[in-house]
């Protein structure tokens, strides 16, 4: 089990970054089709683990959940490059998904949202937690958190602008 960081902590990451949320609508009546639609054992977790093994991919970290997977990327360009890289698994998986659901229509539904985050324009807080979310992403650091969100945001903005 991961070590617990006692007390109140905040995550910091240098520069801009991207938060990418992706999820699926579960089809309880067709679990096998749902599993296949989402790539089976070669699905999202497999792709993300491959990206994490390559520090140059741009994927800083991810939190696997259902129905939402949260991904942290260094840049939108790197996220877009992953999605379009015909030598990687994603384009083939996406093509297969759309072919399968257009044939039977009762499998998984999918969605995603992309957020471009400017340096200093975010706030995090973790209380008595192991490294999680942005705090677990490569390149982020944990520090003792201030008392309120406004103070944490002020400090993050000051750090991003180089002022104290």
Cα separation of 137 and 129, whole Å? Answer: 14
140, β-bridge pairs:
13
Identify whether the C-beta of residue 131 lies closer than 8 Å to the C-beta of residue 111: no
Give the pLDDT of residue 79. 95
Q: Which residue has the tokens 């992309």?
A: 114
List the chain domain ranges. 12-164
Degrees (nearest 5) of the Cα angle 131, 136, 138? Answer: 150
Identify whether the C-beta of residue 11 lies closer than 8 Å to the C-beta of residue 120: no
Average pLDDT over residues 104-126: 87
Query: Which helix (DSSP H) or strand (DSSP E) does residue 160 occupy?
Result: helix 149-161
Average pLDDT over residues 32-36: 64
Give the pLDDT of residue 108. 73
Best CA proximity match to 133, nearest among 32, 20, 31, 33:
20
Q: Where residue 26 falls among pLDDT bands split at 50, 70, 90? A: confident
Q: Given phi > 0 = left and psi -120 to 50 = alpha, else beta, which region is 15? A: left
Cis check: omega of the bond before 100, within 30 degrees of 0: no
Highest averaged pLDDT of the listed ranges 47-56, 70-79, 108-117: 70-79
Give the pLDDT of residue 37. 61
Give the pLDDT of residue 25. 79
Q: Where residue 76 falls among pLDDT bands split at 50, 70, 90? A: very high
Tens-digit pLDDT profile for residues 120-149: 999 998 999 988 999 998 777 778 777 788
Give the pLDDT of residue 64. 87
């Amino acid at each position: 089990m991961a070590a617990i960081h006692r007390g109140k902590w905040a995550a910091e990451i240098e520069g801009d970054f991207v938060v990418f949320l992706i999820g699926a609508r579960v089809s309880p009546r067709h679990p096998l089709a749902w599993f296949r639609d989402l790539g089976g054992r070669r699905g999202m977790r497999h792709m993300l683990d491959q990206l994490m093994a390559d520090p140059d991919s741009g994927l800083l970290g991810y939190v696997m959940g259902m129905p939402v997977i949260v991904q942290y990327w260094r840049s939108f360009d790197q996220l877009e490059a992953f999605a379009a890289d015909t030598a990687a698994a994603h384009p083939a998986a996406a093509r297969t998904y759309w072919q399968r659901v257009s044939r039977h229509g009762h499998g998984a539904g999918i969605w995603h949202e992309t957020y471009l985050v400017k340096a200093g324009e975010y706030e995090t807080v973790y209380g008595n937690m192991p490294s999680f979310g942005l705090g677990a992403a490569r390149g982020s650091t944990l520090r003792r958190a201030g008392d309120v969100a406004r103070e944490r945001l002020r400090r993050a903005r000051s750090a991003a602008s180089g002022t104290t």
